[in-house]
Amino acid sequence: MNLLIKLLGTGISIGAGFAGTKIVNSVWEKTTGNKPPTGKEEDVPTTLRSALTFALISASVSAVIQVLTNRGTQRAIQRFAKTQDIV
């Protein structure tokens, strides 16, 4: 059952990461009025400052999502282990 919980945690982490990326992109667009810098050639050239700022914000949000999902998975594993001991 621990494997199932870990797989579920991985799935939640991927989904939360996808949602976090979409949120960061939309907030960036609304705040700056420009599309987020992705490094693709067809994009409008961006300054180094804006690219680094976007990278820092995006990495920070990703790190927070990863920590929160890992903690949630660990709590679920602990709760499941406690309920197995009771039964």
pLDDT tens-place string over residues 41-79: 666 678 889 889 999 999 999 999 989 988 988 888 888
Assess contact for 73 and 5: CB atoms under 8 A.
yes
* pLDDT value at 30 more than 90: yes
In this prediction, residue 38 has a pLDDT band, given cuts at 50, 70 and 90, of confident
pTM for the structure as a whole: 0.76
Length of the chain: 87
Give the residue extent of every domain in the chain: 2-34+47-86
